[in-house]
Structure 1
Amino acid sequence: MSNPQNKAFPVSWDQFHRDARALAWRLASSGPFQAVVCITRGGLVPTAIVARELGIKLIETVCVASYHDYTSQGELRVLKEIAEKVVALGGPDGAGILVIDDLVDTGKTARVVRDMLPKAHFATVYAKPLGRPLVDTFITEVSQDTWIYFPWDLGLAFQEPISDVSRG
């Protein structure tokens, strides 16, 4: 099995914007949604794009920390719960609430938020196989051993050719 950093999937700002708009197109027929719950921090950018495209004005956050060193998942910690007023809009089970994140990886974060809003519509831009069953809508699936480099994590730098990395 290869190291997750060996299968790199760098995403530019342009590509991410296109993918987030594609997510909005897919979600347009799934609503209406009373509010969006954004899983921070990764869900901030796609939530802004989707909320704009769908005309959703009420945006809430749930803060779940899982990647403490940017390379591996650690213990999950809920740093901020969803406001009760927003949860109440969807009823006790969260129906009518849209939850957005950038990526579902192992599904650990998604499970925590799903427990808070079991009937909410869960959407991500990217999905990996372990977490995919927890998501209702996504745009692109990547293999579990692929590391996605999001545009907010990158600067302009040389990228080694795939053939050089695989020899590594």
Structure 2
Amino acid sequence: MADNNYEPSAEAKAGRPFPVSWDQFHRDCRALTWRLNEVGPFHAIIAITRGGLVPAAIVARELGIRIIDTVCVASYDHTSQGDLQVLKGVCADVAKLGGGTGKGLLIVDDLVDTGATGRLVRQMLPDAHFATVYAKPKGKPLVDTFITEVSQDTWIHFPWDTALSFQPPIRP
């Protein structure tokens, strides 16, 4: 859940890199939308910022959802992960659409990692449907719908965090 936007630890850097191109990310978001289409309809989407902004926009377009809100959670700076802090909650008008518990609302994020952010947002909207593009084992139980599971030691390099450059082969 955007847990991976901070500078990776030495352990994470030693993990498995998983670069994702814009094309691949868009395909994965569309695949997520196909699954969500069978679960909805949804009154609104809540993107967990910042990682959930891009997939939420794609899902909203594909499902024809016009109401998009954000929940803004910070748990890190560029060097370390700390306590979760809600910087912005769900708008009262959007919360009303979900009856205050989130029923009929769709929460979207790019990734569920440890599940810390997911647990916090689930407490806010326990009946919302929670969808991520990618899921790691520790966070996977919190998610209702996802597309790709990756190992806990995988470091996903999202297209908005990378630049085109030479990549050495796995085995030189």
- TM above 0.5, yes or no, is yes
C-alpha distance in structure 1 between counterparts of 2:138 and 2:167, whole Å: 28
1:163 and 2:171 are equivalent in the alignment:
yes
Counterpart position of 1:52: 61
In 2, Cα distance between equivalents of 1:160 and 1:72? 28
Output the TM-score relative to the length of structure 1: 0.92
Q: Aligned equivalents of 1:16 and 1:119: distance in 2?
A: 27
What are the Cα deviations for residues 72-116 of structure 1, in whole angstroms up to 9, with x where unaligned?
Answer: 532211111101111111112111000000000000000110000
Residue of 32, 36, 59 corresponding to 2:41: 32
Give the equivalent residue in structure 2 for 1:134. 142
Per the alignment, residue 7 of structure 2 pairs with none
What is the identity, as a one-letter code, of the residue corresponding to 1:153?
D
2:126 aligns to what SS in structure 1? coil
CA distance in 2, matches of 1:105, 1:66: 13
Paired positions, count: 162
From 126, 146, 155, the equivalent of 1:118 is 126
Within-5 A mapping of 1:67-146: 67-69=76-78, 72-146=80-154
- Counterpart Cα distance in 1 of 2:116 and 2:80: 13
SS for the counterpart of 1:95 is coil
Question: Quick one: percent identity of the two aligned structures?
Answer: 69
CA distance in 2, matches of 1:75, 1:8: 26
Q: 1:141 offset after TM fit, Å?
A: 0.4
Uncovered stretches (5+) of structure 1, i.e. residues with no partner: none
Relative to structure 1, is the Cα distance of residues 147 and 61 closer, same or farther in structure 2, using a 3 angstrom cutoff?
same
1:23 is aligned to 2:32: yes
Distance 1:119 1:130 in 2: 21
**1-side partners of 2:158 and 2:147: how far apart?**
15
Q: What TM-score do you get using the length of structure 2 for normalisation?
A: 0.90
Which AA in structure 1 matches 2:23?
D
Tell me how far apart the structure 2 counterparts of residues 159 and 5 of structure 1 sit (CA, whole Å).
15
Q: How big is the shift at 1:68?
A: 1.8
Structure 2 counterpart SS, 1:148 = strand
Task: Measure how far apart 1:53 and its partner are.
Answer: 0.2
In 1: Cα distance, 2:128 partner to 2:51 partner: 19
Aligned-pair RMSD on alpha carbons? 1.4
